[in-house]
Structure 1
Amino acid sequence: MPDAPLPTTSPKRLRRAAYVITAVLAVVLVAGTTTRLMARQALRTATNDSAVQSVSVARPSRGEAGTLVLPGRLQAWAEAPVYARTSGYLRGWYVDIGTAVKAGQLLAEVDAPEVDQQLVAANAALATAQAQRDLAAVTSERWERLVGESAVSQQEADEKRGDFAAREAMRNEAQANVQRLRALTGFRRIVAPFDGVVTSRATDVGAFIAAGDGRATPLFTVADIRKLRLYVSVPQSLAAGVRPGLTARFTVPEQPDQVFQARIVRSADAVDAQTGAMLVQLEFDNSAGQLKPGAYAQVTLDLQGPATDSRPLRVPSNALLFRKEGTAVALVGPDNRVRIRTVRIARDFGTDLELAGGVGAGDWVVNSPPDSIADGDVVRAVRPKGAPNAAS
């Protein structure tokens, strides 16, 4: 049998198969290249991301306007230490601490026999001086008449007139001494200088009393507590908002649930160089006797603060950086670059710090910045939710 003919493939079909194979190889080559490029880009991005540190940022907050809480001290409206004006021994005392007294009320009596004897001697000296003055007056008049009769010389008459003037001066001196001793005798009675309450007594019967010794402990202390003075030291940065007539609220430890009202009556109008604060005096009506002088108080001042956009800015205390240039904070700009800004602290509230300048309301402040952070570093700023991605 003759051999069967071999199958043949047309050239057109071969070309088509070659095109398909070429296309498949091209697709495979492009896909592989693209995959490698994407993987390389992802690796580069991951490497760059790992080199840029992420930091948490926040806007500075505004301090409260018009409200200031400060410690204060209550004092009696008037307080007077009472000393003895004459020396002697205490005969008796008639009031004790906590006693309400009226002006001129007898507090104690001093036994001063030496002053009594000095008064007797002074009265005798006054009588002698008066008699000598009267005799000198009669003699002067007589010699004036004799001069008119040319019985004595003018010189002798002038001498008698001068003796009369000297005797009259001696009489006046003796009289003044008597009045002084009478006043000392009256000072044996120790009386209250004004209406008030006796807050201290530092003497007892038989104790020796030294007159006029201001260095000694006062015999009594009398305080007028119908009104109280409340003293507060206001920082210099807020002193401009203090003026007479403003009201304040305060509490005391013994009555924590009770809020009292006081009124600013005057201020020192000067800043103390040591404390950097201005002393302010408030007035409290204590006619009901609710509070005691010398007590500590926590005072809330309602100041007339500046406009809302002028209130001082606050940042968290953990935002501070301590550099050789001074205290600073790290800010993140729109280009995500760090700027180190020196600041000055006005007041320390513990978790927050009130700044006197260096930071704006639109700045982004880095919270808990690393010590290695430097000016010009590129960072990834993690802002609070809802905040814009760039500073405004």
Structure 2
Amino acid sequence: MTSNQILPEARREALPPSRLSTTFKRYLTATIFAAGVAAVVLAKYPTELHRTTRSAEVKATDKIEFASLKVGNADDGLTLPGEIKAFNAAQIRARVNGYIKEWKYDIGARVKAGDTLAIIDAPELEEQYQEAKGQLERAEAHAQLARLTSKRWESLRASAVVSQQSTDEKGGERAAKRAEVASAEANLRRLQALKSFTGVTAPFAGVVTARRIDIGVLVGPSHPVELFDIADIHQLRVYVRVPQSLAPQIKQGMNAALTLPQYPGRTFDARVIATSDAIEANSRTLLVQLLVSNESGALLPGSFAEVRFELPKKSNVVRIPATALLFRDNQIQVAIVGADQRVAFRRLTIDRDFGSEVEVSTGVRVSDRIVNFPTRFLQKGEIIRRFERTADRRSPS
């Protein structure tokens, strides 16, 4: 075997100890240097990647589009969704236990106050009533006897035949029997009142919107089944939630116009009759109640409506597209390019949100150049040199 064929281990073993130590030190130094270079490259790679991405994004934003502005007077009023409810609504239940013997009105029927809707057969209640009548008659008989006995004792007391103690006892017995009569009369009146509930009547004039019973159904306090739903629809209540920013402009007595999808092109006059005078914590809105006449019966409770309020005109309002809005630092802002072509961010106060546009009262001037579709990489002070078009300042349509 030649010297070139000696294995590295054998060659290391053949080296002197001093040369072996020097070679190992050189090898270790080279390894450490290579590891350091790799660490620097790996540490620098994300930064370079971010710079490359940032540079590409800046180049993409070098040519930007300005948002179209609409400037003028806010005279188009306020339109909000509303819910229509009956002026009065009641769920009719049975006051006595029994079986439905007969029902007289079905859904859609117009009823008057006091009309009998159904009749309940309550045999147990009838038995209790007859028993109460007998108890009253017995109590009255005992009271009559006690009254006569007391009168006799009082006359005998005048001749000193009976003692004062006996006379007082008979007088007390007479009073006790009178109390028993009063109790029996009260019990009989209670049962008479319950008997009147075997005829289920309408509490007010309206329309039957639901019938949930049929003949033979067991009803009553022990079986809480709804019998009918009655709605008074000669007038209707409309409930609207107004944003907090516009709540001070809604006053009692204001007029409003209702539109419904089933009546295109037709409006119904309504009037504000009350507000909750409190802002709801979850939605930050004011609950407003309106009243609308429904003599024709065209409006139905439970319907959806759009309610339009005519608000006082405001001048010099600005509308900007929603695509120009940014949410930064927990605030709604817009990016504005100044005269020096540098980007600045400005906070907005939004009065009304129209979906694709927002109406602002502060934060934007007519002369501002607002960036449309701003990116998250847009930075304060960044210079913008190329633009696709200038702002279109028009009056709101």
TM-score category of the 2 structures, normalised to the smaller one:
0.7 to 0.9
Q: Which of 133, 148, 164 in structure 1 is aligned with 2:143? A: 133
Among 38, 58, 62, the residue aligned to 1:53:
62
Rounded to whole Å, the distance in 2 between the matches of 1:227 and 1:193 is 16
CA contact (8 A) 2:366 2:393 kept: no
Q: Does 1:349 align with 2:354?
A: yes
Give the total of aligned pairs.
333
Larger Rg: 1
Preserved contact between residue 63 and residue 384 of structure 2 (Cα < 8 Å): yes
**Residue identity in the other structure for 1:90:** I
- Report the CA distance shift for 1:51/1:285 in structure 2 as closer, same or farther (over 3 A): closer
Residue 184 (structure 1) shift: 1.4
Alignment CA distance shift 1:168-1:51 (3 Å): closer
SS at match of 1:206: coil
User: For 1:146-185, what aligned pairs fall within 5 Å after superposition?
Assistant: 146-185=156-195
Partner of 1:260: 268
1:143 Cα deviation (Å)? 2.5
Q: TM-score, normalised by structure 1?
A: 0.77
Are the counterparts in 1 of residues 252 and 273 from structure 2 also a CA contact under 8 Å? yes
Unmatched 5+ stretches in structure 1: 1-49, 388-392
Shift of 1:226: 1.2
Cα 1:325–1:270 change in 2 (3 A) is closer
CA RMSD of aligned residues (A): 2.7
**Matched-pair contact (CA < 8 Å) for 2:246–2:351:** no
Summarize the Cα distance change of 1:386–1:51 in structure 2 as closer, same or farther, 3 Å threshold: same
Q: Which residue of 2 aligns with 1:384?
A: 391
* Aligned-partner residue type, residue 53 of structure 1: D
Matched position secondary structure for 2:287? strand
Preserved CA contact (<8 Å) 2:323 2:373: yes
Q: Which stretch has the larger CA shift, 166-175 or 66-75?
A: 66-75
Q: Does 1:366 align with 2:365?
A: no
Q: Report SS of the residue matched to 1:238.
A: helix
CA distance in 1, matches of 2:289, 2:344: 44
Q: Is the 8 A contact 1:234 1:278 kept in 2?
A: yes
Instruction: Indicate the residue corresponding to 2:296 in structure 1.
Output: 288
Percent of residue pairs identical: 41
TM-superposed CA distance for 1:95, in Å, is: 0.9
- Look up the equivalent residue of 1:301 and give its one-letter code: F
Structure 2 residue runs of 5 or longer lacking an equivalent are 1-58
Q: Which residue, 241, 245, 261 being the options, matches 1:237?
A: 245
Tell me the residue number matched to 1:316. Answer: 321
Q: Deviations over 1:171-211 (max 9, x none)?
A: 11111111111111111111111111111111111111123
Q: 3-state SS of the aligned residue for 2:74?
A: coil
Task: Identify the range of structure 1 (69-78 vs 54-63) with the bigger mean alpha-carbon deviation.
Answer: 54-63
TM-score between the two structures when normalised by the length of structure 2? 0.76
Question: Amino acid of the residue matched to residue 177 of structure 1?
Answer: N
**Structure 2 residue aligned with 1:188:** 198
Pick from 334, 341, 354 the counterpart of residue 329 of structure 1.
Answer: 334
Are the structure 2 counterparts of residues 136 and 119 from structure 1 closer, same or farther at C-alpha, using a change threshold of 3 Å?
same
1:338 alignment partner, one of 322, 327, 343: 343
